[in-house]
Structure 1
């Protein structure tokens, strides 16, 4: 198969003509790293397997499009599935869209001779780009899943690329010390962030998102161990880190109750129902205001919209309405989750923006992230 033309067109799409990443994207055969992937069924009930060798045209089209390809759902990797299989559950690994890989590498400010840790191997795309650009001897790729590190290592070796791979849970231990860390998983603020911060060399730089937010945080490590930086003006939606074969069960029982139960408090909402997960700034600000919230959203017949918010402390909220009508809101538990969301939406409407993007960030060695911008300040994570 002639992949060079599609790769060149992809590189033109995701980089600038004078970008140092242009040649890198052009010369990495992305299809070799994603021989199989999952796509949503038409009705959204599950995931259908796509095998590249069975449909080379679709393979080239998918691999050289600027989109993420889901490679693992629940505990089932596409590599291990059989033709005709369906998967059910949450995506647990993917080949990140190339434009986002390039953006994260730019945020990481890689340089010749600098050691780089790629957190979240996935299909190995970022590892391949980094190794092509600065030399594979300077690149280490880490993932919690041994199949991912093994498969990426084997596939990159076939391309003549030999970075170092590590299988480890980054929320517990990160072996080695690195001058640059680029994470394509959402790292948890608090104790789970400590091992990553400890692996960053003084003077080194990190680029990552924070779990359950879409905030890209970058910063430089100071002599005292703090990382000082900012929330970048662009955003990204990465999967959160996991420690086992799959994510812990969602708050299923609470979500079931939230979808139908009568709330302790029933009121009319001020704003139309919104898909919080895909309203990235709102989702990020909600996580800072009420850490740990899980969200769900559905539309029926393109008319009835329902959003649910649930929290581990037992709080839940449901807002439902026809299209953009004011919703009926049910809430229960110690925290009024929809009220918290509406406060954020009100601030957005009154001020025209939220203070997150461009905020200054200080991350202390205990993993606590402290944000400030103008007169606003907030923190995420606890010292544990």
Structure 2
């Protein structure tokens, strides 16, 4: 099918970059629809497959919006399932990230002409933008999923780009080459030591901390470590995965957490909060207690939020109305809601949390320390 995509790509470029920017030229020149011929769309609690070839108008409309398109749910690639496939549940495991966020991460990397850059693959669209900006011979792209790598390779070839592509774990011991920039659009914790080994001295890494909205940038130092900061803007990416799907430790807690009384019952002093709606609060909680899973439910005016931790801790808070004090049930070795409230106490007392703008120090082994004023956190 031949589609007139260039006007759509140019419109998207105007949305995400200034006309004088070289990233504007890249976005205007890459046919994003070719990298997302199929995608998963949430629809009333299920995932429904959408296929571009069925309706070119919808395909162009969706592909050239500044939005993320989910291309893999659980182990189900949109490329390979049946045309009428519907998934009753599942967690997104790969996507074509919204273009403005890809450009945002590349800008944080301060990529210069001639840099050798390592990026993550996904649909291949972000790789295509890097190739358009630098030339294919300056770009290496990796993903843990062999199918994604091979699909991206074929789609890149169709537009004349031939970067180096490898199927490998970005957190593994060795990365395929030496680089001036590493830009990861999957989140990690801590920074893999292999990144520091693969970066040239003075090179920059850009990523997000898993489970947070924190963008971390750092430049490699002569001692093999790196120094940088948490940027003032924010972003969230899928966590790095090491298999076909993410583990689901919280599922084992769900039966008790869904309705059980737990070990403690109390009342929160604050209105009900779903932490993913407040990125600074969620990020602070994640730094203290990594791995919390959040769930929520609405039944008329009654809202319920769950916090579930792999160590067996859980909290359930329910409020009838937006101003009502939530009733909180908690169980397990930690009191998750109490930790959340301590963070909210600090936010109310100080007016801010010491996350954005924090300095970052990374040891050669990947140990990462954040600091701002008297506050520190080690990953």
Which residue does the alignment assign to 1:9?
A: 11
Deviates more, 1:280-289 or 1:195-204: 195-204
Shift in Å, 1:197: 2.7
Does the residue aligned with 2:280 lie in a helix, a strand or coil?
helix
Task: Note the 1:312-331 alignment, pairs <5 A.
Answer: 312-324=310-322, 325-331=324-330
Does the residue aligned with 1:155 lie in a helix, a strand or coil?
helix
CA offsets per residue over residues 50-77 of structure 1, 9 Å max, x none? 0000011110000000000000001010
Does the residue aligned with 2:22 lie in a helix, a strand or coil?
coil
Shift in Å, 1:315: 1.2
Q: TM-score, normalised by structure 2?
A: 0.96
Which residue does the alignment assign to 1:89?
A: 90
Q: How far, CA to CA, are the matches of 1:136 and 1:347 in structure 2?
A: 48
Shift in Å, 1:15: 0.7
Pairwise CA RMSD: 1.2
Contact kept? 2:186, 2:238, Cα under 8 Å = yes
Task: Note the 1:1-384 alignment, pairs <5 A.
Answer: 1-41=3-43, 43-44=44-45, 46-87=46-87, 88-119=89-120, 121-173=121-173, 174-189=175-190, 193-301=192-300, 303-324=301-322, 325-380=324-379
CA offsets per residue over residues 171-211 of structure 1, 9 Å max, x none? 22322221100000001216xx2222322222110010011
Contact kept? 1:297, 1:308, Cα under 8 Å = yes
Contact kept? 1:277, 1:296, Cα under 8 Å = no
Q: How far, CA to CA, are the matches of 1:366 and 1:334 in structure 2?
A: 30
Q: TM-score, normalised by structure 1?
A: 0.95
Q: How far, CA to CA, are the matches of 2:225 and 2:362 in structure 1?
A: 6
Q: How far, CA to CA, are the matches of 2:11 and 2:157 in structure 1?
A: 25
Aligned residues: 374
Does the residue aligned with 1:184 lie in a helix, a strand or coil?
coil
Q: How far, CA to CA, are the matches of 2:303 and 2:365 in structure 1?
A: 40
Does the residue aligned with 2:246 lie in a helix, a strand or coil?
coil
Does the residue aligned with 1:179 lie in a helix, a strand or coil?
strand
